[in-house]
Amino acid sequence: MKATALEEGAGLLARFGRDRLSRAAACFILLVSVIALFAPLIAGSHPHAPVGYGPDDISLPDRLQPPGAKHWLGTDELGRDLLSRVIHGSRVSMTVGSTATLISLFVGTLFGALAGFYRGVVDTLISRLIEIVLCFPFIFLLLAITALYRPSLWTVVLALGLTSWTTEARIIRGEFLRVREMEFAEAARASGAGDLRVIFRHLLPHAVGPVLVFASFGVASAILTESALSFLGFGIPLPTASWGGILSTADDHLTSAWWLPLFPGLLIFLTAAAFNVVGEGFRRALDPTFRE
């Protein structure tokens, strides 16, 4: 426990980097992030863009063109360049995935740790809150939020973030109930460390494994949920390009325009998979039992 946070972080990264698949997945996420960040420069109707079409540039005569020299990934049902749309769609998926997961991770870990550590009244109150949120099917809350406020990317993020933290909280709570009884926890408390220090310094590293695994699933799940919402017609409002949105309009063209369901579906799948693989890598790197 002498190592500084910086050294620990470096060690963690080194251990993470030892796995080739994790590295590849991290690179993929980095790539998607860079594309998302610079999407307007990469794809737009301005002269220097590598992809010379804006995501919203409608051209009806070009609708439903198969992939070719002009449109590398083909066009959608309004003649918009699919490549440009999936490039811009990466922004939606990355924003929804990361923001919603950060919200749920933060809220979930906080509530879960407090409940598991203090137990008693704190646990009772938090558990009641968790149960109340849990009993609210996501779709109800989303409908309420989008009907009461103007539907946007942020209503989707908010609805996702505010409904999914319970899973994290319950897992953390369960883990805390388990690890707080272990010898090292007793020892930490006996040494006179403050509650917060015990929680975050001693217990959290032992309890956080499953929840990090879950958080990595969480990003994927947020991306997947966004596409499912679009399928039901409650996703990111048009004409904003999102992978889920493109996929849902592809429903009409499954047999005749295979590129419409294929590319966004593949991107959702690959991105979600990359997040899962990275989560896996970090879990192993974080796990004290793997440090030898």
Partner 1 sequence: MTLRVALVVLLTALIAGCNRTETAPQPLTAQTGPLTTPSTGGTLVRRLESDINTLNFILHTTEYENLVLSYLYAPLIDFDVNQKIIPRLAKSWEVSPDGRTYRFLLDEKATFDDGAPVRASDVLFTLGKIVDKNSGAFQLTSSFEGLQLDASKAIDDRTVEIVFAMPRASQLAAFNIAILPESVYGKGDFKKDFNRKVVGNGPYRLTRRDAGKEILLERRNDYWGPRPSIEKIRFKIISDDTVAWNAMKRGEIDEMSISSDRWRNEGATESVRNRMEIHRFHSGYIFVPWNNSDPLLRDAAIRRTLMMCLDRRAIIQNLYFGTARIMTGPFSPDQWTFNADVRPIEFNLEEARKSFAALGWRDSNGDGVLDKGGKSFVIDVLLHTGNKPSMDQAQIFQQALKQVGVTMNLVTLDSATFFDRIQKGEYQSAFLAQGIDVDADLDVSQFHSSQFPPNGNNWAFYSNPRVDKLITEGRAEFDQAKRLVIYRELHEILANDQPYGWTVEYTNKWGLNRRVGNVTVSNTGGLFFWYPGPLDWTLAETASTLPPSP
Partner 2 sequence: MISYLSRRVVHALLTLFGILTFAFVLIHAVPGDPVSFAAHTGRSRAVPREVLEAARREYHLDEPIAIQYVSWMRRMVSLDLGRSFVDQRPVYEKIAEKVPNTFFLNLAAFLGASVLALAMGIASASPLQRSRRRGVSFSILYSLPNFWVALLLIEVAAVRFDILPLYGMVSDGHDELSTAAQLVDRLRHLILPAVTLGYAQFALFARFAVTSLDEVITKDYIVTARAKGVSSRGVVVRHALRNAMIPLVSLLGLAVPLLLSGSVIVEQIFQWDGIGSLYFQSLLARDYPTIMGLTVITAVVTLLASLVTDLLYFLVDPRIRIEEGR
Does residue 24 belong to the site contacting partner 2 (CB under 8 A)? Answer: no
Does residue 237 belong to the site contacting partner 2 (CB under 8 A)? Answer: no
Does residue 143 belong to the site contacting partner 1 (CB under 8 A)? Answer: yes
Does residue 283 belong to the site contacting partner 2 (CB under 8 A)? Answer: yes
DSSP code string of 216-252? HHHHHHHHHHHHHHHHHT-SSPTTS--HHHHHHHGGG
Q: Kindly tell me which of 1 and 148 has the beta carbon lying closer to partner 2.
A: 148
CA distances to 96, 166, 201, 207, 281 from 286, in Å:
26, 23, 13, 11, 9
By CB under 8 A, the residues from 170 to 199 that bind partner 2 are 170-171, 174, 177-178, 181
User: Taking CB within 5 to 8 Å according to partner kind, which of partner 2, partner 1, none is near residue 231?
Assistant: partner 2
Of 66-74, 77-85, 98-106, 215-223: span binding partner 2 (CB under 8 A): 215-223
Give the residue carrying structure tokens 């040494």: 191
Q: How far apart are CA 85 and CA 47, in angstroms?
A: 18
Q: How far apart are CA 80 and CA 60, in angstroms?
A: 8
DSSP-derived secondary structure letter, 290? G
User: Taking CB within 5 to 8 Å according to partner kind, which of partner 2, partner 1, none is near residue 177?
Assistant: partner 2
Does residue 104 belong to the site contacting partner 2 (CB under 8 A)? Answer: no
Q: Kindly tell me which of 102 and 145 has the beta carbon lying closer to partner 1.
A: 145
Does residue 252 belong to the site contacting partner 1 (CB under 8 A)? Answer: yes
User: Taking CB within 5 to 8 Å according to partner kind, which of partner 2, partner 1, none is near residue 24?
Assistant: none
Q: How far apart are CA 264 and CA 46, in angstroms?
A: 24
By CB under 8 A, the residues from 1 to 60 that bind partner 1 are 56-58, 60
Contacts of 78 (CB under 8 A, 6+ apart): 58, 59, 60, 63
By CB under 8 A, the residues from 265 to 284 that bind partner 1 are none
Q: Minimal distance in Å, beta carbon 3 to partner 2?
A: 21
> 78, 255 in Cβ contact below 8 A?
no
Binder to partner 1 among 14, 24, 125, 232 (CB under 8 A)?
232
Q: How far apart are CA 41 and CA 259, in angstroms?
A: 24
CA distances to 9, 175, 205, 209, 246 from 285, in Å:
10, 18, 11, 10, 36
Contacts of 179 (CB under 8 A, 6+ apart): 185, 203, 206, 207
* Two tokens, residue 290: 């793997």
* Two tokens, residue 14: 């080194």
By CB under 8 A, the residues from 113 to 132 that bind partner 2 are 119-121, 124, 127-128, 131-132
Encoded one letter per residue, x for contact with partner 1 by CB under 8 A and - for no contact, window 147-166 reads x--xx---------------
- Residue numbers of the site for partner 2 (CB under 8 A)? 19, 21, 119-121, 124, 127-128, 131-132, 134-141, 143-144, 147-148, 166-167, 170-171, 174, 177-178, 181, 209-210, 213, 216-217, 220, 224, 227-228, 231-232, 244, 247, 251, 254, 261, 265, 268-270, 272-273, 275-277, 279-280, 283-284, 287, 289
Residues of this chain that interact with partner 1 (CB under 8 A) are: 56-58, 60-61, 63-64, 77-79, 143, 146-147, 150-151, 232-234, 237-239, 249, 251-257
